């Protein structure tokens, strides 16, 4: 009774589908979160009559053959990198990226991670850091006597110092893109790391060709659409139920066989 195993793979696939959807919904309010989409593939097929084989000594060819599938499996979870909506915060260290690119962040082990979360703060030394205290690259320190900080669209960080008219240029934030943005690995805390699938980073200043611009006082919300996710959740639930019905039907068929006299 192959139907039992086939339907079981279908239930397992839909269970993972629901888990991905639930993670998307749970991160609706996560700054810079990109929703995931599960992708499925059919499993190997059993050839009971191979297509294209000869059916007689005269060379007649079987036109379609006889194949039976053995189920489904989850192939990948694909990250959708479309732009999220921008939320006004009026915080001078909140920065949203309009377009392509990610901020570069130095982890405690010295490696570089990447994020779309621009809710930055200042460290005790005045350096621009993430909410976890990780240093934003390139490192920029804001003087203690700075009255205000301005970050323009091209990434320049300008500070107005006390008793000074002209703004002081503290440095420039850059952005990084990858040949395959979906190949980055999520490590939590709104951070992603480079992998062989993503390719090597390409860093440049905001506003250059192929790179987005920065918008101070805004944050990028997640790109999760609640209506789309709820619709997908209902579809996954119905598919799970249908696979369970197949198992029930297969069980009833086996019961019929065992009751034969």
Give per-residue pLDDT as tens, 170-205.
Answer: 999 999 999 999 999 999 999 999 999 999 999 999
- Statement to judge: residues 109 and 187 lie in one domain: yes
For position 87, what pLDDT does the model report?
94
128 in the same domain as 47: no
pLDDT tens by residue, 12-24: 999 999 999 999 9
- Co-location of 215 and 98 in the same domain: yes
Same-domain status, 145 and 175: yes
Same domain, 92 and 206: yes
Do 31 and 140 fall into the same domain?
no
pLDDT for the residue numbered 69: 87
Considering the domain architecture, whether residues 98 and 76 belong to the same structural domain is answered as no
Q: How far is the C-alpha of 73 from the C-alpha of 96, rounded, in Å?
A: 37
Q: Are residues 228 and 214 in the same domain?
A: no
Task: State whether 94 and 216 are in the same domain.
Answer: yes
Same domain, 144 and 58: no
Task: Please tell me the distance from the alpha carbon of residue 180 to that of residue 178, in angstroms, as a whole number.
Answer: 5
- Number of domain units in the chain: 2
**Are residues 149 and 228 located together in one domain of the fold?**
no
Give the domain extent around 33. 2-81+224-258
For the cut 90, the answer to whether the pLDDT of residue 164 exceeds it is no
* Same domain as 212, residue 94: yes
**8 contacts: CB under 8 Å, gap ≥ 6:** 71, 243, 247
């Amino acid at each position: 009774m192959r139907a039992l195993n086939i339907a079981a793979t279908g239930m397992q696939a839909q269970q993972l589908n629901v888990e991905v959807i639930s993670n998307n919904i749970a991160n609706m309010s996560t700054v810079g979160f990109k929703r995931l989409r599960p992708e499925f593939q059919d499993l190997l097929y059993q050839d009971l009559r191979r297509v294209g084989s000869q059916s007689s000594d005269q060379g007649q060819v079987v036109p379609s053959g006889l194949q039976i599938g053995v189920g489904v499996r989850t192939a990948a979870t694909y990250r959708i990198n479309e732009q999220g909506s921008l939320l006004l915060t009026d915080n001078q260290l909140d920065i949203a990226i309009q377009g392509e690119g990610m901020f570069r962040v130095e982890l405690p082990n010295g490696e570089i991670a990447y994020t779309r979360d621009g809710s930055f703060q200042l460290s005790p030394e005045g350096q621009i850091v993430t909410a976890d205290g990780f240093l934003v690259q390139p490192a920029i320190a804001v003087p203690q006597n700075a009255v205000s900080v301005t970050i323009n669209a091209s990434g320049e960080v300008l500070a107005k110092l006390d008793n000074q008219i002209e703004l002081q240029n503290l440095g420039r934030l850059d952005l990084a893109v990858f040949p395959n943005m979906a190949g980055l690995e999520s490590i939590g805390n709104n951070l992603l790391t480079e992998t062989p699938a993503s390719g090597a980073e390409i860093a440049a200043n905001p506003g250059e060709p192929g790179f987005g611009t920065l918008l101070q006082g805004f944050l990028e919300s997640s790109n999760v659409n609640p209506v789309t996710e709820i619709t997908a959740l209902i579809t996954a639930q119905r598919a799970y139920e249908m696979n369970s019905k197949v198992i029930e039907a297969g069980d009833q068929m086996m019961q019929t066989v065992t009751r034969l006299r």
